[in-house]
Each structure stands twice: as structure tokens, then as C-alpha cells.
Amino acid sequence: MIKKARPAAQPVDQTAAALIPVRPWLPMLLVAWLLGPSSALAGLVAEWRMDEAEWAGNPGEVTDSSGNGLHGTAVGQASVPTTMLAKVCNGGRFRGQGFNIPEPPWYINAQHRVEVGNDRRLSSLRRDQTNAQSLSGWFRPESLGGGRYALLHKGQTGDQEYLVEISNGRLQVAYWDRNQSDRVVTVNHTLQTGQWYFFGAAAEGSGANLALSLLLFDENAQLLGSNSQVFGQFFLGPGNQYDDRPHATDLRLGAIRFAASTHFFDGLLDEVRIHSSALDQAAFASLATQSRDCPATGGLVAEYLMEQASWSGAIGEVLDTGGNDFHGTAEGTTRTAATAPALSGNPGSCRYGLFDGEDSGIYLGSGLDFDFGNELTVMAWVRWSTNPALGTSFANIISAIDPADGGGDLGQFWLQHATVDGTNNRFFEFAVRNDSGTRRLVRSTTQPQPGIWYHLTGVYDGQRVRIFVNGQEEIGTGFANLSGLVSATHPGVQSFIGRWARTPGNARRFTGKIDEVRVFNKALDSSEINNWMNTRRPCEEQPLNHIRIEHSGAGLTCQAETITLRACADDACSEEYNDQLVLEFTSPSGSWTPGLLSFTGQASASLQVTEPGSVVLSALSNPAAPIRCFVGTTESCLMNWAEAGFVIELPDHVSATTAAGVIRAVRADDEGQVCTPAFGDVSRQVSLWSEYLNPTDGTVPVSVNGVTLAGSSPGTMLSLEFDSQGTASLSLVYPDAGRMNIRARYEGTGIEAGLVMTGQGRFVARPAQLLAAIDDNPEAESPDGPIFRAAGQPFTVRVGAVNAAGALTGNFGRESQPETATVSLVPELASPAGGHLAGLLGNLSAFGSGCPDFPIGTPGEACGEFQWHEVGSLRLLPTLSSGPYLGFEAVPGTTSVAVGRFIPSHFTIAGSNLINRANLSGCNSDFTYLGEALGVEFTLVARSTAGLTTRNYEGAYARMSGDQLNLTANPAPQILTAGISWDQGMGAASAMLRAVRGHAEDVIEPYAIGAAPVDSDGAGLQGSGVLGSSRLLFGRVVIDNAIGSELGPLDLPWRIEHRDNQTWQVNPADNCTRLDLSEHVLLRNGHGEEASGSESITLAGGGATAISTVDSVLTAVSGQGRFRLSASMSPGWVELLLGLDDDWPFLRDDLDANDEFVDNPSARATFGLFDGNPRRIMLREVMPR
């Protein structure tokens, strides 16, 4: 069972309510709520802890722990929310509207929420219930913009109740009154992504009024802000009454429900509670500090936190806290430490394992059953303590390998380093073997550097092998595709941490630190990986190893010396004991101030010995511990005291500047208690030399008064002029960085023969500044400036610590623990203005150790490979993240020039739609005629090398227009129109095109439309460019002639035909073609007179006819229609011609049989052709049937 870190309990400040403005007109109920004592946490209606191992969308799986049975259901579109490690045990991970993935379909439409069915108890603000309510819970937003993101909502259009949401980056609560008007309270605090917050909202009625309050706490339950208001006539008043409303809608977590769910929350929710009482500030603070033992985390089968204070080689002493008791055994010199954990501080990642690369390792066991199916995840923190290239080849982190199988390269899995091209441990590597004996592996793109913590995760999801570095997936070399079950374990499979199963000679031992090793029998996603990576817990205090007394080795009887005391948790004093202890000084007796010292970690005391000679320093501690004394790095408790000597005072300063120090020659006065000048107005030859303290060695000398000092005794002789007070000036210059010591010695001659005076003084020289350099950087910060890198493409940054003269300070970064100088880079957005500042990925190497592009390190310079997954330009600010340099002052960084321009790595298509017969509004067709407009709509996404959306690709930085979409098909289409509009890296593209209509052809199926977009910077498409396909038909309109009586209407049938197997067939699928009488139809009589199809026309015989708009079928029905002409009442004919030149060229016919389909169809309607001779004696007309 894993115990989740308990948030630090904070005392409740009873005066904190004064932060909330209380105006004289506020009712007393609000003042009482603010200032009253903490109420009992009464009236718990619902509590969703979200501790389930996972959610799958099953009804009621989101458990209500209150006992009231108000269970919820995880709901989404293409996926549902899930659970993961959160603030208290597990919590709910909601992915908002949707999210990108680095493979097809590229975007997941999420719309995540939890739905809880309506229950009267969820509406306790009603006056017929408790007339009060409280809402509370933890939340951590993962993305924020200017919009709205719902945490909790009950209501829908027409029946709104209450809502807690983030609006424009601030937390607010709303309750709807009797008239469905919302009453809103907002906390004026800007929320940040990736931070945990606790909200508490309390609503309470009094008569017709509502008192509404909202409080916001930080992750440590400290109040960040609050706001309260009283709203009049909330429950009662003219018109409606509050209790008359239905209050009948369900509750949603992570979304707002209006007509449908909207405003989805992207982040984590945890410990959401509803009470039927109005809680006060202290009650909310109490809820925010609650914790508990957590149920076993789903999928975790082994966990090695390395928290034991020491290991002796005893079997099972390396504890597995994953619940399966797969305890391990430390080998050789493997031990634990806590000096420089991956996650510093308390809580943090605490202790870790130390591996020396010689005989170290942790044996976990043989045949361990991790219960793998077709998924697994393994993760660990690792840090090299030496150059990886100098370490053992293929250095192992954790593995389950059969040493007798395949030469030891097979088994279940390994997480190790890859040796490539003759360079040891060049990349990280993860491999899995399936049940059919196939092994696949993938390598990182990150190249490990010494002195840097990396969080590594290997994932097998049943389809491929993946590797994550610091929470980000990397795709280096290797073959990742793999399916099937993980290879079964058996007694020959041996599991190790820090070494390989094969011995001797090929143990692949790791040199450095390993921590937080975990094995899961499921595939974790990136959110879960990042949560485990950032998991902290309380760190146990370390046992007291010894008391260290640090002194100079010499003193003057006329003044006190400052002695440093340190409580050490290990032999090297790399860790300090952090409990309080009491130290009683025993030698020299009576000379210490204070004589009894109580301290934690580190302190100082004053020692004055008034008689010349040697003394031994000693003390007794409680709790008892050995006393060890050190003069620099030399262990000695002996301290020499003299009546005369030198006091050297040297200021801390900036490297390569001139520092004004002094050296004072003093002696004890006649009483021996006060220092007086030993020299006055004399010149003396004094020997001076320098010593390196931190770092303990170096190559750059110190100069005093323009003379370079020797680095050891007997030193360099300088002539010093002492004034009447026995003081001489020292003009000091040190071009390097670190803590230095200057020693002085004078041996008297003549009347001073036998006089020996010594002394020493320390100073710290810090670099003048930190400078970042980026090679081959064009320094562009305009949208059309030179290209530097594709987004996500690695680039090398060098950071130099330089002195005041601009030269590198080679000793910077070589300082000993615990005062190591570490440097980080802070990115700043250079352009576009107001754009998205993506995080900077990568790490600097240790100073002087080199990096991939600069394998031979340069003293005083660190370098590293970085990635920026955005478009535009940024600036880099190197900062000394360890704080003041050696206790002096921080080294300032200088902001770099613009780094850029960065462009997208590639584009992907995230959804497309083909629109057949695009010029026909409302037409639903699965074909288009050759020569007819075909529409296409699709979304292009600008991405980095890792597939992340580059949100700055918009405006002037979106360098792709419609003519660069490069639409393709066979036969090649004509592009009628094409355009694209970019918004935050998403391009909405649309185009109208048509396939050329030439000679009669059969069906072209499929007619596949593709895109191969390339922008002005040369960034192109990655992945499939297929947008969709359609059927292309070669069509024509055919109108039949008709003959009939002039006394009745006459129909001219028309039909749409298409070419099929070299014959013409009516197209029964055409229900869209519509002929417009005004625009497409022309009537012509025998005299050559013409009229529009919407007008009547006179026949040569004197009658007239017109096309009926009521009885004609002008829109094709199964490919057919008719023109109905009215009775002409006299014989004659009229010709109907279709004018298809402008809108319908794709339906023209070949009337002259020249194989060119460019003729407009026509037909003739003849009235009374069979009337006979009008002079006949009798004529009988019969109406047509």
C-alpha cells in the first residue's frame, strides 16, 4: 500500500477573515460566517474521492464515499476521463474538449465529464431543505486561456442552480436566483497551470437574501484570496419563488450543461465534496489538509524508493513498496544518500541509491511474476556521476533478463543505455520481448550528461515500444512496432537494478544515482507518467553520524576565532543532520562562547585562548556522536595559538575586479587580552601564498599588489608598508571563481630574530555574469527572418560563467557539495508578441564536461542540447538556480539575443471532408460529374518534431496560403479556389476543384483527392495526404422531342445520363440537378423569336405556350424530370434550348457526333401536327389521355 504525502497542516489564522472586506451593510449572518469558529463538517451530501484504479464509462463507477449512493459515470466522446495519481491518492484526469496525439487520428475529441443523476439532496439550498450548501475540492488546471472551464455544475437552460468555474483565469462561483439570474462571486487571483488549488464555496439563505462566499487555497492549504457578497431578493420577491423551480437536472464535474455539455475542464479534480451546511474558513482549511492511506495504485506491481538509511547486503533490505514484497538485496558498495535528490526539498524524492560501477547493483530476484499481459511500464530517475562515455558499455538501469537465453540479450524487458558508433552509453534505451520471441527496442534522442537527473519511462502498450525522457516521448533509432503478450517469466529470468544479469565481465554496471524505480503491468499515458515523475513525499530525517568542527588551525591570543560546527548525517558530511542537538564544549575548557550550544544542521561558536601554545578541540553531543575536526580538507583537532600574527581581511568580490583588502600585524597587549599593532610605520618582507578551498584545486593564480602569488608555502615575498596602526593594503585580483584562502608568514631578522607571525584570510570571487551562446543562430525575430531550427529540433546552448574581463572562470561549477553551482535557462518569448511561450526542454551538462556537439568540455562553460516545440523566436536567460554563489551573492545572467526563427517541423491532416456537387446547396451526393465543382475541407495542424501543435503558427507566422496546399488527383483537377485560415497552429483549409471534362469516359472510381502542402519555409506534410475520394461520372442532359394536340399540355421529358461501360445510362442517383427556367431555359418559335423559359411564347400559328412551374419537374428525381408546356390552342412548334455554358458545362451533349461534348441540349415540342386538312366536312377532337 502506498501512502500519499499528507499536505502540511497549517494553523488556522482566526484573523484571516479580515482579508475579506466586510461592509457595514452586510447582514450579520455573513460576519458570523467569516469570524465564527470552525463548524463541524456536518451534512456531507456527496464525496467523490476518485480513488478508483481507472474509469471505463460504466454506470456508477465514480464512487460517492459519503454513503448516500450518489455515484457518477465517466462520460466522453472518443474517450472517457480516467484516474491517476493526484493530490490525495488518485484523482480524475479530464482532457477538456479534446487533445492531440502524435499519430493518426492525431486529435481525440474528448468532451470529458462525470455525470451524477439528479437527487434532491444535491439542491439543499432550497428553503424547504437546509437553506444552505457548501461546495469544495482540489483542482489543477493543465491548460488555461481566456475562456471558461467548469469544475462543477448543476443545471441546464431554464433550470440553472450552481456553478464553480474558471473564467478568464480566475475562480468564480455562481448561483441562480428565483428568476434564473446568476449571482456571481469571483476571487481576484490569477490561476497558473500545473498548480494545485483548493476551492471552498458556501451559500446560505436568510429570509429572501443569499450570502455567498468563495475561498481559494494553495497546495499547502494557505489562503490565497476570498470574496463574499449578500444578494437581496434571491429566494423571494415579485414573480417567481426559488422553491417553485424544478431543480431537476443532473450534476456534472468538468463541464457545463446548457442545451448540451460545453466549457470542458482540462486538468485534475480530486476530493470533490458537497455539504448541506455553510462551512466556514477553518472548516474548508481542515478539508484541504485531510489525507489518508491510499488504496493500491492500479497497475503498480513493484516500487523501489531507496529510502533505507543504509544497506549492509542483508537479503531483502531494499524494500519493495509496490505491495508484492519483491524486496531486493544490495550488492557490493551499493548504498543510499540524500545529498542531491532528483526532487529537492521536503517533501521531495528524498534518498536514492548510489552505484559505483565496480561491484554495485541490487538483485531483485529470479522468476518474479510482474503479471504482465500485453502491457507494461517501467520508470526510474537516473543521474550519472561520471562521463557516460567513460562508464561500462550498455550501463543497465533495471531489467528482467535470462542470462542463459540468447547470450543474455533476451528475457522480458530492459531499461538501459545504448552504446552506438563506438560511444558508450550514448542514448537511453528500452526493449521488450514478446511471447513469440520477438524483441523490439527504441532509443531516446536525449544523450545523457553527467551530473543531471533524468526521469526515464519505458512503455509497451501491446502495439509498440515507447520511451519517455523527463515526461516527453522521444523517438530515436530502433524498431518500435511490437504486438502480443510480454514474454513469460520463469526461474531463469533474473531482475536487477543498476547492473545486468550476466556476470562476471559483462555486468553492465551503472555509475551514479538511481531512484524511484517502478514497474507497472499496464501502459501508462503521458499524464500518468508526468504525475509519477513529479510525485513527492515527506523525507525522513537522517541519523547523526558525527559532529564536525571546522577551524583555521591557528589563532591569536588577543582575539577570538569563529569556529564552524556541523551536524553530519554521513562520513563525508555531504548531508546534514536536521534534528536539534546540544553540544557541550570540553576542550579547551572555559574558552568557548557559548559553552553550551543548541543548534540544527550548522552553527558557529567563538573560541579565544589567551595563552600561546597548542590546544585540542573537543566537545560532547546529545545525542551522542563522534567529534571530528578539519582544517580545510585535513582532519586535525589541533589548533595553534600565538601572541602575535596577521589578521587578513579580504572582501568577497566579482572575479577579475580589484578588491581592496588589508593585512594587520597585531600582538597581544601587556594584559594579553587585546590586540595592538605589532608594527608601526615600517616596511616588512612578508611571504604570501594562495590556497584553493572550494573548489579544492585550480590553475589560475591570485595577484596581490600586482605580484602573482605562489600556490603553496613558502610563498611569494612581498614588501608591505604598514602604517602607524600596523595595517598594510592588499590590492587583490583573482580572475577565476571560488572560495580562496590567502596565507601570510613573517620571520623576523636582526632585533626581531625568532619572531614568527602567521595569518590567513578568505574571500569568495564570483563570476561577473552568465552568458548564453547559441552557435549558428541567425538571431531572427521577424516572421520572415532566416530559419534557425524546426520546432522541436535539437540545438546546442553554451552557458559561460565569465569574469569582469569577459574570460571564462574555469573553476565555476566545480565547487564541492553542498555548495555546487547549478545553472538553469529561463526562456522568454521574443516573437510573436503575445504568443505562446512553450517550455524549454533539455538540460545543461556539468560545467567543463562537454555535450554531444562539444564532446571535449571547456572549463567554466556548460552546454546542453535543448528543444523548443514552438514557432517564432525566444530569448534565454541563464540563472544561478542554486541561489547566492558560495553564500556571497547571486551571479546575474544576461538575456541572450533572439534565438530563432523556429518554424514547424511538419504538418499533419486532422480531419477532412469532401463535398460532392459543391455548388448545389443542400445536395447529399456520393458522386460528382466530370467538369463539375467538387469541394474539399480539411484541417492542417502545424506540429513540432514530437507532434506537438505549434500554437504560434498564425498571423504573419503562418507562412502557408491556399495556393500552397498542392491539391492533387488523377486526372489532375483544375483548382477553382483554395484558401486556408490559421488560428493557433490549426489551419482551416477549403478548396473548390473540378476534373477536366474531355471525351466521354466511364466512371472514374475512386477519384482520390490528396494534399501535399508545403509552406514558404519548406515545411511539408508528414503522414497521409489523402483527403478522401469520390466517384466521377461523365454526364449529359438529354431532352426528348414530343408531339401532341394543341388542345392539351405537352411534356418534354429530360433525363441525366452518364457513361457506363461505353453505354449511356440514366443516373438514378441524381436527385440534385435543378434547372432554372430563367437562367437555363430558352424557348424559340418558328419565326426565330425567343423567350425565357419563365415566359410564354407565341407560336407561328397564332397560339401561345409556356412552361408550367407547378407541373414541371425541374429538379431531377432519380435522374429524370420534365418540362410541361401549356396547351397552345393552335398548331405550331416551339424549340426548348438549355443554356448550360455558365453553370452547367458538365452536362452538355455531343449533338453533332464529333466526340466533343460542347453542345447545349435542345428538343422540339410540336402541337397539332396530325390535325389533317382543315377543309374536311367533320372534325372530331379527342382529348389525350
Confidence of residue 29 (pLDDT cuts 50, 70, 90): very low
**Beta carbons of 499 and 509 less than 8 angstroms apart:** yes
Alpha carbon 1047 to its chain centroid, in Å, reads 82
User: Higher pLDDT residue, 999 or 611?
Assistant: 611
pLDDT at 672: 65
| Mean pLDDT over the full length of the chain | 87
The residue among 264, 217, 347 whose CA lies nearest residue 93 is 264
What is the arithmetic mean of pLDDT over 356-370? 90
What percentage of the chain has pLDDT greater than the value 90?
56
Confidence of residue 622 (pLDDT cuts 50, 70, 90): very high
Instruction: Determine the Cα angle at 96 with ends 95 and 100, to 5°.
Output: 65
**Beta carbons of 200 and 215 less than 8 angstroms apart:** yes
How do residues 560-603 score in pLDDT, each as one tens digit?
999 999 998 888 887 778 778 999 999 999 899 999 999 988 99
pLDDT at 6: 29
Assess whether pLDDT exceeds 70 at residue 819: no
pLDDT at 1179: 59
- Binning the chain into helix, strand and coil, the percentages to the nearest 5 are 5, 45, 50
pLDDT at 1184: 54
Cα separation, 354 vs 385, in Å, equals: 9
Query: What is the per-residue DSSP string for 434-474?
Result: BTTS-EEEEE-S----BT-EEEEEEEE-SSBEEEEETTEEE
Burial class (CB in 10 A: 0-12, 13-18, 19+), 29: middle
Phi (first) and psi of residue 32, to 5 degrees: -65, -40
Assess whether pLDDT exceeds 60 at residue 990: yes
Confidence of residue 170 (pLDDT cuts 50, 70, 90): very high
Phi (first) and psi of residue 955, to 5 degrees: 55, -135
**Beta carbons of 1132 and 1164 less than 8 angstroms apart:** no
What is the arithmetic mean of pLDDT over 1130-1144? 85
User: Higher pLDDT residue, 633 or 1181?
Assistant: 633
pLDDT at 32: 34
Confidence of residue 51 (pLDDT cuts 50, 70, 90): confident
Phi (first) and psi of residue 948, to 5 degrees: -80, 145
How do residues 513-571 score in pLDDT, each as one tens digit?
999 999 999 999 887 888 888 887 777 766 788 999 999 899 999 999 999 999 988 88
Assess whether pLDDT exceeds 50 at residue 982: yes
Confidence of residue 203 (pLDDT cuts 50, 70, 90): very high
Assess whether pLDDT exceeds 50 at residue 37: no
Assess whether pLDDT exceeds 70 at residue 19: no
**Beta carbons of 295 and 1 less than 8 angstroms apart:** yes
What is the arithmetic mean of pLDDT over 246-267? 84
Cα separation, 438 vs 923, in Å, equals: 52
How do residues 910-939 score in pLDDT, each as one tens digit?
888 899 999 988 898 999 999 999 999 999
Query: What is the per-residue DSSP string for 1060-1104?
Result: ETTEEEE-TT----B--HHHHEEEEETTS-EEETTS-EE-TTS-E
How do residues 1036-1095 score in pLDDT, each as one tens digit?
999 999 999 999 999 999 999 998 878 899 999 999 999 999 989 999 998 999 999 999
How do residues 649-666 score in pLDDT, each as one tens digit?
999 999 999 999 999 999
Assess whether pLDDT exceeds 60 at residue 352: yes
What percentage of the chain has pLDDT greater than the value 70?
91
Cα separation, 300 vs 309, in Å, equals: 24
pLDDT at 14: 27
Least confident of 90-104, 214-228, 712-726: 90-104
Cα separation, 908 vs 103, in Å, equals: 9
pLDDT at 28: 33
pLDDT at 86: 86
Beta carbons within 10 angstroms of residue 1175's beta carbon: 6
pLDDT at 295: 60
Cα separation, 1073 vs 478, in Å, equals: 55
Rounded to two decimals, the pTM is 0.58
User: Higher pLDDT residue, 146 or 252?
Assistant: 252
- Three-class SS of residue 1146? helix
- Terminal Cα-to-Cα distance of the chain (whole angstroms): 92
CA 608 to each of CA 385, 602, 643, 671: distance values in angstroms, whole numbers, following the listed order: 42, 20, 12, 14
Which domains does the chain show, CATH number per domain? Answer: 44-288 (2.60.120.200), 300-533 (2.60.120.200), 546-642 (2.60.40.10), 644-766 (2.60.40.10), 776-903 (2.60.40), 906-1033 (2.60.120), 1036-1167 (2.60.40)
**Beta carbons of 520 and 300 less than 8 angstroms apart:** yes
